[in-house]
Amino acid sequence: MLELQEVCFSINKDGEEVNLVDHVSLKIPRGHFMAIVGPSGCGKTTLLKTIAGLNAESAGTLLWNGLSLSDGHDFAPSEIGYVPQFSIAYDPLTVDESVEAATRLRIRTHGEADLDARIDRALEETGLTAIADRPVKVLSGGQKRRLGLAMELVSDPKILLCDEVTSGLDPRSEREIVKLLHDLSRKEGRIVLSVTHSLAHFELYDSILVLHEGRVAFHGPPDMLAHYFSVKDTEEIYPRLAKQPSTRWQSSWMKHRDAYYEKIEKRREKNIQEGELQVPELKKSAEGEEEEEKDVSTPGVLSQFLTLLSRRWRIFFRDRGQVFLQLAIMICFPILVSLFSDKANVQMRSLSDMRQTDVMLEITEQQNVRQDNMKAGSALSGIIMFQVVLLGLMGSNNSAREIAGERPIYEKEKFGGLRPSAYLASKVAFLSCLVIAQSLWMAVFVNIFSPFDGTFAQHALFLLLCNAAMTSVCLGISAMMKTAEQASLLSIYLVGFQLPLSGAVLALPEKIETFTRPFISAYWAWSGSVEALGTARNLAVKSVISTSITPQNFCFYLLGLHIAVGLLVSLIGAKRHQWD
């Protein structure tokens, strides 16, 4: 049994505590199907999230089979399923692949046979077997709701929480979903709680909970609803609620509560006797408490990592737009850089060992050498910075939306037992492949047209570190932002400031330079690459710039620090609760 005793959830508004869930007390037996209804803003979803543990109760107690969920006896990830309003599946995947990924992330299965059995059972229970090979993006609204249910049923949850799963559906699809939820509550004593705005199909529910301003206005059998509110049609309930304060409705319900619960229990016993409701026996713990048999465990970090990485690559290759964009960037950016390579290939002349007897000839020779150095140095410095900035742009494109763009799905999977460390590791592994391919191809392609005098390996390493640093930092931004748009905008701004704040074009004032330079990865990659040039070219670059050059080792360490900080921020953001 799920029991709520004077449960409250409050927020601070204008300096005072406001209860969004206000002293809610309920008893919900096993094998029960309950609708949670009420006007907009009455606390329906907030109550559901409080039961799920997404909102920590401010007061009161939640009990599950007699054990307090506030005292460390929390739901195991496999015990509770939550179907939110938004889609929890990726459009490029098929129905079967979505359910398979959910199973691998939530359940430690015993071989392929067990895995296939769980998938097949979830598909069959939700009526999706016939469309298992269909991509998610072509599913109807009702089919997506069924898929969301299937992805939760793989762990055989004892409690299934559904938030507006019928919203936006046509009447026929709505009734089908409600009937499906009713049937799911009849198996294995499962409790199904469904938040809904609809006041239709109440005959399929075991009880109706009506909330008003966060308080319980009614909780009882559906056939008592119209009588309790003194209305002829259930559509008149919401206007009726507004005529009295929520405290009056709560007080009225408290007077009728025992009688209504008695009716609910009699109906439940009848359903059990007639075989409509299946409620397995609970075993006794050492303390004499009733408890569910827990035979489902969460997969390990490595298993979750491999599942996520495999899924990410599958999504990437099925998104043709993303694949074409990555190929276009990898091909076009190096070509842009190579257009300026001829200017860097000026023959580097040096002064003759023989002293000129003609003063004018000697001056002319010195001027020619100086001009060659300035041309080559300016071109080399510009080419290196061009490479660095373009790779920074690639890094931003790689990861700015990587976490923020799928945050709702990630939060849902984290609720189901996904470890943030496994999730972040899969992102790092995927992005590392992109970074290596982009950076090495940029270095190789440009080096063909403008060789770096035997320093190719060091130059390529700094390009790799620059791309990795920007990718890592933008991944951290993506992990901290609430939306993909916010993350993308901030990441683009970060790339935009790389060139002017690097000092490679115009030296910055010393006070500004001291403050900004540590944060500009473009400077450290550019400076390290310049130092990696051969002596002649190194001197040529230094002859045309006024910005100081930092030794290679220090550049290497600073770029490594950027990567480490980006990953640390990413981990913090991944662990942080951002369920909207």
In whole angstroms, what is the distance from residue 408 CA to residue 552 CA? Answer: 42
For residue 477, tell me if it sits in a domain: yes
Last-in-domain residue among 245, 277, 309: 277
User: Do 222 and 96 belong together in one domain?
Assistant: no
The predicted-structure confidence for 445-466, as pLDDT tens digits, reads as follows: 887 876 666 578 888 899 999 9
Query: What is the pLDDT, as a whole number, of residue 135?
Result: 95
pLDDT at 355 over 60: no
For residue 321, tell me if it sits in a domain: no
In whole angstroms, what is the distance from residue 337 CA to residue 387 CA? Answer: 7
Query: What is the pLDDT, as a whole number, of residue 291?
Result: 53
For residue 63, tell me if it sits in a domain: no
Last-in-domain residue among 130, 156, 182: 156
Last-in-domain residue among 277, 294, 316: 277
Element (H, E) at 62: strand 59-64
Confidence band (pLDDT; 50, 70, 90) for 54? confident
User: Do 548 and 532 belong together in one domain?
Assistant: yes
Overall domain count for the chain? 3
In whole angstroms, what is the distance from residue 250 CA to residue 201 CA? Answer: 25
The predicted-structure confidence for 198-220, as pLDDT tens digits, reads as follows: 878 888 999 999 999 999 999 99
DSSP state of 223: G
Range of the domain at 107: 87-156
Mean pLDDT over the full length of the chain: 85
CA distances, 287 to each of 29, 71, 75, 86 (Å) = 21, 16, 19, 41
For residue 283, tell me if it sits in a domain: no
Tell me the three state secondary structure of residue 454: coil
For residue 317, tell me if it sits in a domain: no
Query: What is the pLDDT, as a whole number, of residue 70?
Result: 73
pLDDT > 90 in the chain, percent: 44
Mean pLDDT of the 332-337 span: 87
CA neighbor of 24 nearest in space, from 237, 205, 209: 209
CA distances, 112 to each of 149, 296, 309, 363, 541 (Å) = 22, 16, 19, 82, 61
For residue 255, tell me if it sits in a domain: yes
Query: What is the pLDDT, as a whole number, of residue 268?
Result: 87
Confidence band (pLDDT; 50, 70, 90) for 387? confident
The predicted-structure confidence for 480-505, as pLDDT tens digits, reads as follows: 998 999 999 999 999 888 878 777 76
User: Do 424 and 570 belong together in one domain?
Assistant: yes
DSSP state of 100: H
Burial of 252 (0-12, 13-18, 19+ CB in 10 A): middle
495: which residues sit within 8 A by CB, 6+ positions away?
A: 389, 392, 393, 395, 396, 470
Read off the pTM. Answer: 0.87
User: Do 150 and 169 belong together in one domain?
Assistant: no
Query: What is the pLDDT, as a whole number, of residue 1?
Result: 86
| Poorest-pLDDT segment among 290-299, 348-357, 496-505 | 348-357
For residue 140, tell me if it sits in a domain: yes
542 vs 389, which has greater pLDDT?
A: 389
Query: Averaging pLDDT over each range in 125-129, 241-245, 422-426, 530-534, which range is the top one?
Result: 422-426
pLDDT at 36 over 90: yes
Structure tokens at 448: 């063909």
Q: Could you tell me how many helices (H) and strands (E) the chain has, helices first?
A: 21, 12
For residue 365, tell me if it sits in a domain: no
